[in-house]
Structure 1
Amino acid sequence: MKKQTAERMEMVMVEPKVLLDGLGIPESPRWHEDRLWFCNWIAREVVAVDMDGKAEVMAVRDPDSHPMGYSIDWLPDGRLLVTGDKLRRQEPDGQLVLHADQHANEIVVDTHGNIYLNGADFDFAAGAPPEPGYIKLLTPDGRLREVAGDIAFPNGMVITADDRTLIISESFAGRLTAFDIDADGGLSNRRVFAEGLGPDGICLDAEGAVWVSTGGNSVVRVAAGGEILQRVELAADRAPFALMLGGPDRSTLFILTAEWRQSDSVTDNLTRINTGPRTGEILTLPVTVPGAGRP
């Protein structure tokens, strides 16, 4: 029997504020160097925005590349990494160069420089039948290996501050899954962190809880085991794609959203977003427990 997520929560009454709008699908948010960095899908841009809403384009992908499905993080030396059909890094002159010949959806880098990449080998946007996904590890010496498989559409990942646990969104299973991180960077002791959700991009706080989407128009803060601690309701036409805790003390929740009609198919929604008005927004909300871990 599927275990449902427990509900003993605090409703968040503060209304989220719009920090930035006019975006395609904002994804993969990271708090880095006092700004929120994110991928502006459709426009193929990596953008950084400060707390006053001043935005700057930090990298531009190949205009012939797929407009969606990429993520960012940084090497310990500060160079930006961008996923996609291959993993690329940004050099000091701004050029994006090949870092590894591996396509990926999401990325997270630990404090030792171990790069975790996830993906699945089917075209979700085109409506292809799903295939099991994976997590691969790229170590600082350039070795690449698979460290977890049978992931039901892998999405956002977080690593705890002690580099001992990795949590991943399994979007098609409605589940957050946790792994122990071994001394060599491998993953073991696979277990359910929480289920009965609709996880995409996630973030971790200092009490070990995860902010995650529900699959509808709300986001929740959930503890290990599935207890929902807080819930934030968004407008009925808002789909939350990713979340990040940032700000000067990492006590601001950034919610990345765009218009998404539940009655439409995924293909119809993506087509409308790609060709229609840019409805993507970044919302902000103060929270009491600050962010922790990576990204």
Structure 2
Amino acid sequence: MAERVVRTVLTGGGFFEGPRWHDGTWWVSDFYRHTVSRVSADGRETVQFEVPGQPSGMGWLPDGSLVVVSMKTHAVLRWDGSSLSTHADLSAHCGGHLNDLVVDAAGHVFAGDFGYDLMGGGAVATASLKRIDPDGTVSVAADGLQFPNGAVITPDGGTLVVGETLGNRYTAFDLAADGSLTNRRVWASLGPEVTGATTEEVLGQLAVAPDGCALDADGCIWVADAVGGRVVRVAEGGGIVDAVAAPEGLGVYACMLGGDDGRTLLLCAAPDFYEHNRAPVREAVLLATEVDVPHAGLP
């Protein structure tokens, strides 16, 4: 696996998440500063707006407006460039904080949640992947997922692949034009089946904990390994074909391919993911490195 130079793009974050490349710039959420920002390639940050309910995953609708998760209020918000409104309330379908999302070309939004009270020490439970239709209707697209998190859609729009952070796997679905998901299957098995009632029990069984991720033009997924302090490039079937380690003392919790040629891999890094450690301090960083194969698909 190639040795790569990892450089620092931005410091001083609470906990960066949901990175995206859009219109020639990075966009990123910060859980504990409650901000959604644009970040230039050379690290200049411009806060666009605040989400008091804690922002996470984001994407763009066909009309160009931005949608972003409000984690603690279980809502997806819409930002039109000047004001925020509620795009959909998903409270009825959330067992824990709402988390990451992906938007397909037709404007269907797919969002996962934790499934249980992760930060409060609740019993581990499965969660659903929820779909918001363009008219705002909310439904469950798939259930029984072990912490559905980062998701990608293939360039042809026909397949959605979602990481199960506490499941050692990626799961794929056929994605229809109406947003329905069928033909559920394991896209990549990264470790053994996971059991256990507590987060600590489950974390000890994880070979790779898929967090935020990005699809490349070879059909591989770059994934932040939330327990491994690294990003890994995963091929369909589960083979790890490349890896980049974070600097010592940092974990990586999301990544995205972008830059003008799609070959810059942005990493969201912090010492850990626990709210009581991260919220009071500003130790999160954005890191970047260059890879050979460019971005493809969505987000």
- After TM superposition, the score normalised by the length of structure 2 is 0.87
Equivalent residues of 1:169, 1:199 under 8 A apart: yes
Q: Summarize the alignment of residues 10-159 of structure 1 with structure 2, pairs less than 5 Å apart.
A: 11-62=1-52, 65=53, 67=54, 70-84=56-70, 85=73, 86-92=75-81, 94-103=82-91, 104-159=98-153
Q: Please tell me the residue identity of whatever aligns with 2:33.
A: A
Pair 1:232 & 2:259 matched: no
SS at match of 1:271: helix
Question: Which residues of structure 2 form unaligned runs of 5+?
Answer: 92-97, 192-207
Pair 1:272 & 2:277 matched: yes
SS at match of 1:106: strand
Q: Please tell me the residue identity of whatever aligns with 2:277.
A: R
Deviations 1:145-164 (A, max 9, x none): 11100000111111111111
Distance in 2 (alpha carbons) for counterparts of 1:253 and 1:232: 10
Q: Please tell me the residue identity of whatever aligns with 1:36.
A: W
Pair 1:282 & 2:268 matched: no
- More displaced stretch, 281-290 vs 114-123: 114-123
Equivalent residues of 2:155, 2:297 under 8 A apart: yes
Equivalent residues of 2:26, 2:38 under 8 A apart: yes
Q: Please tell me the residue identity of whatever aligns with 2:232.
A: V
Distance in 2 (alpha carbons) for counterparts of 1:89 and 1:234: 33
Pair 1:217 & 2:229 matched: yes
Distance in 2 (alpha carbons) for counterparts of 1:152 and 1:138: 20
Equivalence for 1:257: 269
Q: CA deviation at 1:122?
A: 2.3
Q: CA deviation at 1:270?
A: 2.5
Equivalent residues of 2:106, 2:177 under 8 A apart: no
Deviations 1:30-76 (A, max 9, x none): 111111101011000001111111110011113xx3x4x62211111
Distance in 1 (alpha carbons) for counterparts of 2:129 and 2:253: 20
Identity, % of aligned pairs? 37
Supply the RMSD in Å over aligned alpha carbons: 1.5
SS at match of 1:105: strand
Q: CA deviation at 1:233?
A: 1.5
Distance in 1 (alpha carbons) for counterparts of 2:80 and 2:216: 31
Distance in 1 (alpha carbons) for counterparts of 2:36 and 2:289: 22
Question: Which residues of structure 1 form unaligned runs of 5+?
Answer: 1-10, 261-265
